[in-house]
Amino acid sequence: MAMTHKFHFSVEPPLPIISLQNHRPHHSQFLIPKRPLSSSSIIRSRNGSSSMAPLPETDCPVPADQQPINEYQNLSTSFPFSWALGDLVEYCSRLFVTGASFTLFIALPVAWFGAVGSDSDPLIKIVGSVSSGILFVTLAVVRMYLGWAYVGNRLLSATVEYEETGWYDGQIWVKTAQVLARDRLLGSFQVKPVVSRLKYSLVNLGASLLFCALLLINLEGSSQKAYYSSTPESGDPSIPGVYNDDSARWFEPDAFHVTDHKERLEFHKFR
């Protein structure tokens, strides 16, 4: 019995064999960082590796607390220098509340019960208390102006004066171009408006102090004039509101005739 063999031929091409080892695509791969970095913050070496560049203050020999940028940040968050950075309405309201509080709780009690005396004109006491409150606010604004003007000058200057360990080893550091541009931008757009606001505040407060001083001088003059008008002068028969023996003798000489005669007799007797 003969055996028959059947052969099946497939016309489909064989599947390609894919090797997973050392597979490199022909196209280039670009890795996009999750966080973009500025070109100034990356330094590439010759071998292609990259490293972070130091900030401008890293090579600065000035101590951190004496650098103008840090002085500005400290001043903008300290009391009462931060008042000048706020809104104009908020700034004026804080100055008003400060002056009113000093007037009501310190100046007015001292003027009413203290050195001025209880026989003084109440209007003089009130004006004096208001003047004290304005003077207190003026001193606070002067302190703020000196602080902001100092920081502004250091920001706008091309050099920075600093002390390493004490007053005896002062040094001067010349700012780099990047640091100078940043500091001058900050000083021109942040510090200069604050200094101008404080200047206008000082002018207005000075005018208010001058007005209060002139008003006090006028009130003192009027009070002294009223006091001298009530004091009896020689030969003046008018003594408003005050009793005096001389004026009584002027108007009623007979009432004092007997008393004067007895006094003369006793005088001659002892003589």
59 pLDDT above the threshold of 90? no
The C-alpha angle 16, 19, 22, rounded to 5 degrees, equals 145
Q: What's the mean per-residue pLDDT of the chain? A: 75
State the pLDDT at residue 45: 39
* Position 117 in a domain: yes
* Position 249 in a domain: no
Q: Sorting pLDDT into bands at 50, 70 and 90, what band is 155? A: very high
The whole-number average pLDDT for the span 209-216 is: 95
State the pLDDT at residue 210: 97
* Position 245 in a domain: no
* Position 68 in a domain: yes
State the pLDDT at residue 222: 76
By mean pLDDT, which of 1-5, 140-144, 196-200 is the weakest?
Answer: 1-5
**Beta partners for residue 43, in sequence order:** 51
SS3 50: strand
State the pLDDT at residue 54: 43
Tens digit of pLDDT for each residue in 254-269? 666 656 556 666 655 6
Residue 172 has φ and ψ, to the nearest 5°, of -125, 130
Q: Report the distance separating Cα 151 and Cα 169, nearest Å.
A: 21
Asked if 146 contacts 154 with a C-beta cutoff of 8 angstroms, the reply is: no
- B/e letters for 85-99, b = 16+ CB within 10 Å, e = fewer, are beeeeebeebbeebb
* Position 270 in a domain: no
Task: Give percent above pLDDT 90 in the chain.
Answer: 48
Tens digit of pLDDT for each residue in 183-196? 999 999 999 999 99
6 pLDDT above the threshold of 50? no
121 pLDDT above the threshold of 50? yes
* Position 155 in a domain: yes
The whole-number average pLDDT for the span 128-152 is: 97
* Position 133 in a domain: yes
The whole-number average pLDDT for the span 188-207 is: 97
Look at 24 and 198; give whichever has higher pLDDT. 198
Nearest partner of 186 among 200, 175, 199, 198, judged by Cα: 175
Supply the pTM of this predicted model. 0.63
Its domain, for residue 122, covers: 64-163+170-223
* Position 42 in a domain: no
The C-alpha angle 56, 61, 67, rounded to 5 degrees, equals 70
Asked if 81 contacts 152 with a C-beta cutoff of 8 angstroms, the reply is: no
Tens digit of pLDDT for each residue in 10-38? 445 554 444 444 444 443 333 333 333 33
182 pLDDT above the threshold of 60? yes
Q: Sorting pLDDT into bands at 50, 70 and 90, what band is 227? A: low
Asked if 115 contacts 132 with a C-beta cutoff of 8 angstroms, the reply is: no
Q: How many domains does the chain have?
A: 1
State the pLDDT at residue 170: 84
State the pLDDT at residue 183: 96
By mean pLDDT, which of 35-39, 64-68, 208-212, 257-261 is the weakest?
Answer: 35-39
DSSP tag of 120: S
Sequential DSSP letters for 225-262: HHHHHTSPPTT----TT---HHHHHHH-TGGGHHHHHH
Asked if 191 contacts 152 with a C-beta cutoff of 8 angstroms, the reply is: yes
